Amino acid sequence: MTSLPEQINETTRFLQQQGFETPTTGIVLGTGLGELIKKIDIRKSISYKDIPHFPVSTVESHKGHLIFGHIGRTSVIAMQGRFHYYEGYSMQQITFPIRVMKALGIQQLLLSNAAGGMNPAFKKGDLVLLDDHINLLPENPLRGAHHPSFGPRFPDMSRPYDPQLSQKLQVAAEAAGKPLHKGIYVAVTGPNLETRAEYRFLRLIGADVVGMSTIPEVIVANQMGLPCAAVSVVTDECDPDNLVPVAIEEIIAVAGKADKVLSGIFAEVIAEMT
C-alpha cells in the first residue's frame, strides 16, 4: 500500500499532466453552493472519479468536479462539492484534496458551507464569517502516522481562520451591501439534523452555527501553514423552542439563493489576490 505522501505526489503529478497549472487560491464549495463556478474562466474540469486516490461525492447536491481556471488574474482550483464523515470516508480521505491543492501550489484557501443557525440573531440566508470553531467530530485528520513534510504534529489552532483573509471578505461583503455576521461553527457527524436538546447543548457550549464539514479541512490547512477563511450560509433557523421540521431540499434551496451574493463576495476577493 502506498503511503499518504506517495498518493499525494501521484495525484499531483496526474493533475499537472491534465493541465492543472500552478493555482494560487483553493476553493471548497459546500452544500447547494456552486454559483462561483460561473465566475471562473475554466481551463480544465475533471470528475473526482477520474482522479487517482480521490474519493467520490455521494451527496446529490455536490457535483463532484475539480476545476482549474482564473478569476480575474488569479489562478484558482475549486472543489465543486466536498466529502463528509457521514459518507463513510476517513478524515484522511476527506482532507486529501486539501493536501493535493497545497502540493499544486495554492497559497490561501476559501471554504463555504451550509449551516443551521442557532444564534437567534441569524436568519435564513444570512452569511456568517467563521471566527472560530468547536470540533465534535469523533476523528481527527492528523491522527495516525505523522509525516513531517506536512507540518508539525501538534499544530497551533489559536487562530484557525486567517484574520487578514477574513478582513478582505468583510470589506467585500460590506461593499456588496451584505455585511457578514461573525460566529463560531460547530461540526457534528450527521447526517441527521439535530434534536431540540442537541441545539440547546450546542448553543450552550458557545456555537452560533452547526454543520457537518469544514473543520477537518481547516485543521489540515493550519498544519500545512495554509491561510484559510470560511463563510457559512444559514439555511435554517434552529430555535429549539420554535423548531420547525426542515427537509434537505429546502436547505439546498435557501443555500442557492444566498449563493449568488456569497459567490460575488468570493470572486471580488479572489480577483485581487496574486
Instruction: State yes or no: pLDDT of 33 exceeds 80.
Output: no
In angstroms, the Cα distances linking 146 to 3, 39, 160, 174 are: 11, 38, 20, 42
Question: Strand 41-47 vs strand 65-71: parallel, antiparallel, or unpaired?
Answer: antiparallel
The pTM of the full predicted model, rounded to 2 decimals, is 0.95
pLDDT at 255: 87
Domain ranges of the chain: 4-271
Class of CATH domain 4-271:
alpha beta
Q: Three cell numbers at 20?
A: 492543472
pLDDT for residue 252 = 86
How many residues are listed for the chain in this entry?
274
How does pLDDT run across 87-107, given as a tens digit for each residue?
Answer: 999 999 999 999 999 999 999
Give pLDDT tens digits for 42-74. Answer: 999 999 999 999 998 877 655 789 999 999 999
d(CA 41, CA 71): 6
Q: Mean pLDDT throughout 68-82?
A: 95
- pLDDT for 256 equals 87
- The stretch 2-8 carries a mean pLDDT of 94
As beta bridge partners, residue 200 has none
Q: How would residue 274 be classed by pLDDT, with cut points 50, 70 and 90?
A: low
pLDDT at 248: 84
